[in-house]
Structure 1
C-alpha cells in the first residue's frame, strides 16, 4: 500500500509520539518523480573516459544527467551499456548524488538507475524533500514508472503542521 507523503508524515508523527521510535521502513508517493524511462538520456560532464573492453563509460566532474524533467547530478556517473553495446543498461552515480523532478528532490551518497525497469536505488544518508516536508533514511528505492518509492533504514520525517 502506498501512502501520500501527507498521510505518511501524520502516521509517522503520531506513531513516534505513541511508541517513542521511528519506523524502519516507509512507503511514499513520488508523483513529482514519475518519469517516462523511454526518453533519451543526456549527459554533461567535465571529462569522459570510455572502456570498450567492459562496455562502460565514466563521466566525471560536475556531471549532470537529464531524462525528460528528471535531473541527476553527481561527482561521477558510470554508464553500463547493454549487450548490444548501444543501449544504456544502468547509471551508477557517486559523490553527492541529487535526483530532482519538479517539486521532489532526493540526495544520497550513491544511486543506481536501471533504465529498463525505471528503478532508482539511492543509498547512504538519503534525504527526500517534497515541498516543505522531508523524510530521511539509509536506502530509498524509487519506481519512476509508477511514481512510488520505499524509504528504509531508521526512517525519520519532519513535517510542517498545517502546511502538508
Structure 2
C-alpha cells in the first residue's frame, strides 16, 4: 500500500507542478494513470471530480473526489471523499473519507471503514495506517466497536 499512496501523492504533485518531473523516478519509473469526469487545477490545488481514480501498477485509489494540496512546492495533503476505495493486490479498504499526509506517511480513513484482506475482514469508524511501517490502528468511534472476522492460516494444507 505504501507504493500506491506515494504514487497517488506523486501523481497529484506531477499534475500540479510539472517542473518536479524527476519525482516520478521515486517509484521506479512506473507510469501513473489518472482519470476523472472533471479536473481543475490552481497553483496550490489539483482536484479530480466524478469517478476520480489514480492507478500505478496493481494499486488503485477511487473516490467521488480526490484533491491534492501543494504548499511551497511540496505535496502536503491528499484528500479523497465519497465512496473511497484503496485497492492493492493484498487488501481492499473502503471508507467515506481518506486523508493522506506525506510528511508522516499516514493515511486516515473515516466513516464506515471496512478493511478486507483475503477472507479476513475488520470494520470500524476510523483506520489510521502508516504506509512506511505498515502499523495500523482501527477505532470504533463514539460508542462504536471494532469488529472482525479472521481466518487463521492452516499449516500442512
Give the conservation status (yes or no) of the 8 Å contact 2:52–2:66: yes
Distance in 2 between the 1:163 and 1:129 partners? 19
Aligned counterpart in structure 2 of residue 119 of structure 1, from 95, 100, 106: 106
Which residue of 2 is the match for residue 132 of structure 1? 119
Q: Which residue of 2 aligns with 1:156?
A: 147
Separation in 1 of the partners of 2:4 and 2:53?
A: 18
The residue that corresponds to 1:77 in the other structure is 66
C-alpha distance in structure 1 between counterparts of 2:57 and 2:102, whole Å: 13
Task: Using the TM superposition, give the Cα deviation of residue 81 of structure 1 relative to its aligned residue in structure 2, in angstroms.
Answer: 0.9
Query: Which structure 2 segments of 5+ residues have no match?
Result: 12-31
TM-score normalised per structure 1: 0.69
Match of 2:52 among 56, 59, 63: 63
Structure number having the greater helix percentage:
2
Is this contact kept in 2: 1:37–1:145, CA < 8 A? no
RMSD: 2.3
Q: Distance in 1 between matches of 2:92 and 2:4?
A: 17
Secondary structure at 1:116 match in 2? helix
Residues 20-76 of structure 1: CA deviation (Å, up to 9, x unaligned): xxxxxxxxxxxxx34376554243211112234xx1121101111235543110000
2 CA distance for matches of 1:110 and 1:47?
19
Residue in structure 2 matched with residue 20 of structure 1 by the alignment: none
Paired residues of 2:53 and 2:61 also in contact (CA < 8 A): yes
Say whether residues 1:35 and 2:3 are aligned partners.
yes
- Decide which moves more: 94-103 or 40-49: 40-49
Question: Is the Cα contact below 8 Å between 2:4 and 2:59 reproduced in 1?
Answer: no
Q: How many residues were matched structurally?
A: 128
